[in-house]
Structure 1
């Protein structure tokens, strides 16, 4: 006689932490056993760095930036470039990966630089900025001028989180939160049926980073772009690390931070930079026209105080 049991092994919580891409990562997942490993995650992130890190001398992106004309991309860079072109055209040029020499000139690139660029220098650099100077075809990335350089930092970290999520899913893990440098990808619910909870960060009135809200969700990605953590001080003026590729100067608008929800982290990560480059009314209108995006904004009011607002769709995720 055979006996059948409905017994299911209890899922345990596992946590992996580490350091990659100049920041921390934390992965929490539920499984019967420790299916994912730190070694596996680190190996994946090392591969991505060899492709797109400006801080690794022999990386593929640095090979392109030194090349006179073209290189053959790998599948990592190809994926990110395709998305970058897509967001560039959708944002009418606000998101532009050829901003690399401007980022360096303002002291936020891989080489140490404490000197503010002159108007003449900015004007000269702008001659070599613009995605129209790039072409991607059949895995070949080419440029019109040798001085064209790219910076994928505004989108590659989101893509990295998506690849971590793919790694976990391939291991058979169905419930997880993967976070790298504040970019997050979620799959839920938890084994007890409750949704995942994610803290939404932003600055307090004095600029101190705090958790402003808590979101509850079971799928998708949340990323944040802001200028209250990464900036230079020039007298009383804060110089943002986010550079306007059209003017050559750091962004100067009312935005302090933008948190974006999207189906995947590469999309959220690309668009959080786009929205930071807009004025608030323009940004809200932009998001409301796109079903695949939701956003939460922290901004300066005209009197200098800090306020927040969100798109209609973002409200349903907030529990606090």
Structure 2
């Protein structure tokens, strides 16, 4: 629905992509000398962003070339910045194409979240994302209401038909953009690859989206710092630190990725219902879930909700917890004072 998977060639989440609430990796703060022979760190660039993987294993090894190969396959499947990717081919077809299992799993999950959020998460918003200048190509002017109305005729996940590995559309104009979920999926693919190799203690991070498994060698949980705007809405700061030993944590936000029009900020997060950028008080949403594809997909949809609705939605989903930064518009300040809130389950994860 939202995510512009790549400022360059691959995927970079439109939050998650200009790193709107980057999740700082604080798990390296313990004494490395004690576990140096067991710790492996892999870093690189893929999907228009960076990745960092730390794992602990004295016997089993995974190498950077293996990670690069995995991410390249996903990029060839779902990157809008590659003309020969499967998603680019689908968007130029009038009917449909046969897709690979990566693409299929992302579409299946996207359909599930679309239905669960009553259409707030919608991967068919590609035309709207492009119209507002957050797609692959730049724009000369913003769309008017008539243009948006015409583009909305091509929006709706219900216009997609997935039969086996064949993905088709009921209208030729339908285009999809999976940037709001595919990076989380990529994190899960890499994490599951490590598990398949017998590596059970790790942190996988791609563009700020994380998946964590196992305790550190000293028995402690991994500590993750959550960044957000400061109280005066200026330079970002680490607002909280959470401790996890299993699961995923992702962030969607709009305080770094935006455009301006008549001194007004235009969010890169597009509301598929109106066709216009979202205008809720929410600044960022950090979600904790069992896997990154779930957290990554839902954090975008929740950004389009009002604060009370967002909290209630997450509370109704027992497999998720949320931390939300928002503008309190009751204040005299034009944008409102920056405040934060969280679910009861998220509060239990805090270390500070």
- Same topology, TM > 0.5: yes
How far does residue 200 in structure 1 lie from its aligned partner after superposition? 1.1
Counterpart position of 1:216:
243
SS of 1:97 mapped into structure 2: coil
Is 1:131 the counterpart of 2:157 in the alignment?
yes
Counterpart position of 2:134:
108
Counterpart position of 1:265:
292
Is 1:316 the counterpart of 2:348 in the alignment?
yes
Counterpart position of 2:22:
none
How far does residue 207 in structure 1 lie from its aligned partner after superposition? 3.3
Counterpart position of 1:4:
none
Q: Greater CA radius of gyration, 1 or 2?
A: 1
Q: Are 1:207 and 1:228, in contact at CA under 8 Å, matched by a contact in 2?
A: no
Counterpart position of 1:6:
none
Q: Distance in 1 between matches of 2:91 and 2:214?
A: 40
How far does residue 177 in structure 1 lie from its aligned partner after superposition? 0.6
How far does residue 265 in structure 1 lie from its aligned partner after superposition? 0.1
Counterpart position of 1:255:
282
Is 1:198 the counterpart of 2:230 in the alignment?
no
Q: Distance in 2 between matches of 1:241 and 1:40?
A: 33
Which structure 2 segments of 5+ residues have no match?
1-34
Match of 1:240 among 256, 261, 267: 267
Q: Which moved more, 1:112-121 or 1:220-229?
A: 112-121
SS of 1:317 mapped into structure 2: coil
Match runs of 1:128-167 below 5 Å: 128-167=154-193
How far does residue 11 in structure 1 lie from its aligned partner after superposition? 5.5
Is 1:29 the counterpart of 2:55 in the alignment?
yes
How far does residue 179 in structure 1 lie from its aligned partner after superposition? 0.4
Counterpart position of 2:312:
285
Q: Are 1:10 and 1:32, in contact at CA under 8 Å, matched by a contact in 2?
A: no
Q: Distance in 2 between matches of 1:223 and 1:148?
A: 28
Q: How many residues in Structure 1 have an aligned counterpart in Structure 2?
A: 312
Q: Distance in 2 between matches of 1:158 and 1:210?
A: 23
SS of 2:128 mapped into structure 1: helix
How far does residue 235 in structure 1 lie from its aligned partner after superposition? 3.0
Match of 2:257 among 224, 227, 230: 230
Match of 1:187 among 201, 209, 213: 213
Q: Distance in 1 between matches of 2:235 and 2:62?
A: 35
Q: Are 2:271 and 2:278, in contact at CA under 8 Å, matched by a contact in 1?
A: yes
Q: Distance in 2 between matches of 1:114 and 1:220?
A: 42
Aligned-pair Cα RMSD in Å: 1.3
How far does residue 100 in structure 1 lie from its aligned partner after superposition? 0.3
Which structure 1 segments of 5+ residues have no match?
1-8
How far does residue 33 in structure 1 lie from its aligned partner after superposition? 5.3
Q: Distance in 1 between matches of 2:234 and 2:205?
A: 23
- Give the number of the structure with larger relative contact order, counting CA–CA contacts within 8 Å between residues 6 or more apart: 2
Task: Give the TM-score, by structure 2 length.
Answer: 0.87
Match of 1:93 among 119, 124, 128: 119
Instruction: Detail structure 1 runs of 4+ shifted over 6 Å in the superposition.
Output: none
Task: Give the TM-score, by structure 1 length.
Answer: 0.95
Q: Are 2:203 and 2:210, in contact at CA under 8 Å, matched by a contact in 1?
A: yes
